[in-house]
Amino acid sequence: MNGEKLLEYDIDTEAWRAHVKSSRYYLTAYGKGGWGLSPKGHIALQDYGGAIEFRNIKIRPFT
């Protein structure tokens, strides 16, 4: 955010696969499609019922 990396995950680890299996999405339609295991794909933005705005979202490869 604002030029600073907030999160980073290595999805090619046993710890990540265990995290995915413990997720509530693992046994849903999302889980059946390889949820949490694809190195490329879509992102989802979510809120928790309050007012929220998104603008100027850019996704760049980390170098």
Sequence letter at residue 15 = A
In this predicted structure, what is the pLDDT of residue 30?
56
CB 16 within 8 A of CB 10: yes
Q: Where are the domains of the chain?
A: 1-63
List per-residue pLDDT tens for the chain, 63 residues long.
Answer: 677 877 777 888 899 888 888 887 777 755 566 777 777 777 777 777 788 888 888 777 766
Q: How far is CA 21 from CA 16, 27, 52, in A?
A: 9, 8, 30
In this predicted structure, what is the pLDDT of residue 48?
77
In this predicted structure, what is the pLDDT of residue 32?
67
In this predicted structure, what is the pLDDT of residue 21?
83
In this predicted structure, what is the pLDDT of residue 63?
67
Q: Phi, psi at residue 34, to the nearest 5°?
A: 85, 30
| pTM value surpassing 0.75 | no
